[in-house]
């Protein structure tokens, strides 16, 4: 078994808060990316009663080489009651900040954008004052307009890795398409925009800085950088484990480039400490 550095060791989920959270999600028929993507922060986040909800099913129509989510040519029909159940879950948990992501649904006419928007609208209607972050597929045009119309506070979309290493993603994805999504999100909504980089796939520092520059050129406001961890033996192996000091250096360089919020740490993921990141962006002087 691959031995990870000490700074990557995490606790096994346990405790009453975690058990009640798991039971609630099962009762409402909801999925979380915490489970489906084998997120290393599940113990911490669930122990605090927070989670990133995954809508549109738990089967993705794309097959990225770093991801453990199940894949198929098509998924089940979106559940008509999912937006309402999701809103009830956010209310039951007493969340002030909710994160919604989804699998890719290339098999649907609008790739699931309308359902995504319905989930945001349902949460905002049931829980006044809640902030909602959306981590979306590479939507564009009318798809983005649908999401923007539901008034999320943050629209996130991940470039995942540096330009040279994009082949680790499904062939239908690309760095340029992701930049287009982020650029259009900025143009078509009032939401903050956000993206994420996995590190440890073999990228160089120059490539990381180049990715930062391109993200800023697309108007990206917020950046998350975290260590790539191999979910199972079926996914890509780790090329390098970056020490915390390197993440701290990258955070400093990102802030110098004008990102309003930067979360950079070995276990950081797109939605990890999302509310703190959004709050930091809110208090940053213009």
**Residue 108: which CATH number?**
3.20.20.70
27 vs 215 pLDDT, higher one: 215
Mean pLDDT within 25-46: 56
135-170: b or e for each residue (b if 16 or more CB lie within 10 Å)? Answer: bbbbbbeebbebbbebebbbbbbbbbbbeebbebbb
Give the C-alpha separation, 125 to 265, whole Å: 34
Q: Does a structural domain hold residue 188?
A: yes
The closest of 260, 264, 233 to 247, measured between CA atoms, is 264
pLDDT of residue 281 exceeding 90 = no
Q: Does a structural domain hold residue 62?
A: yes
Which pTM was predicted?
0.86
pLDDT of residue 272 exceeding 70 = no
Residue 282 pLDDT: 65
- For 233, other C-beta atoms within 10 Å of its C-beta total 8
Strand partners of residue 60: 71
Q: Does a structural domain hold residue 2?
A: no
In which band, very low, low, confident or very high, does the pLDDT at 153 lie, cut at 50, 70 and 90? very high
pLDDT of residue 240 exceeding 60 = yes
User: Containing domain of residue 183, as a range?
Assistant: 13-283
Element containing residue 98 per DSSP (H, E): strand 97-102
Q: Does a structural domain hold residue 1?
A: no
Q: Does a structural domain hold residue 7?
A: no
Joined tokens for residue 177: 């398409």
Q: Does a structural domain hold residue 6?
A: no
Do 197 and 161 form a contact (C-beta atoms < 8 A)? yes
pLDDT of residue 82 exceeding 50 = yes
- Number of domains, the chain: 1
Element containing residue 2 per DSSP (H, E): none
Residue 176 phi/psi, 5-degree rounding, is: -70, -40
35 vs 241 pLDDT, higher one: 241
Residue 14 pLDDT: 52
- Collapsing DSSP states into helix, strand and coil, what is residue 131? strand
């Amino acid at each position: 078994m691959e031995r990870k550095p000490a700074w990557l060791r995490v606790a096994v989920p346990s405790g009453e808060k975690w058990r009640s959270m798991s039971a609630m999600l099962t009762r409402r028929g909801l999925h979380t990316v915490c489970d489906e993507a084998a997120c290393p922060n599940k113990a911490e986040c669930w122990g605090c009663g927070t989670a990133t909800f995954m809508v549109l099913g738990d089967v993705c129509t794309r097959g990225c080489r770093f991801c453990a989510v199940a894949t198929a040519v098509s998924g089940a029909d979106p559940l008509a009651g999912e937006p309402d159940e999701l809103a009830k879950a956010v209310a039951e948990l007493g969340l002030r900040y909710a994160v919604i992501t989804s699998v890719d649904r290339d098999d649907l006419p609008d790739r699931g954008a309308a359902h995504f928007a319905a989930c945001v609208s349902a949460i905002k209607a049931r829980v006044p004052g809640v902030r909602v972050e959306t981590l979306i597929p590479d939507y564009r045009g009318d798809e983005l307009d649908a999401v923007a119309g539901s008034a999320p506070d943050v629209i996130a979309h991940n470039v995942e890795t540096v330009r040279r290493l994009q082949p680790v993603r499904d062939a239908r994805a690309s760095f340029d398409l992701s930049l287009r999504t982020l650029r259009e999100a900025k143009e078509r909504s009032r939401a903050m925009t956000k993206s994420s980089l996995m590190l440890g796939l073999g990228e160089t520092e120059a490539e990381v800085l180049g990715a930062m520059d391109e993200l800023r050129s697309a108007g990206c406001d917020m950046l998350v950088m975290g260590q790539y961890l191999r979910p199972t033996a079926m996914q890509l192996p780790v090329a390098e484990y970056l020490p915390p000091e390197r993440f701290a250096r990258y955070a400093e360089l990102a802030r110098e480039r004008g990102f309003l919020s930067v979360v950079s740490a070995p276990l950081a993921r797109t939605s990890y400490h999302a509310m703190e990141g959004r709050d930091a962006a809110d208090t940053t002087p213009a």
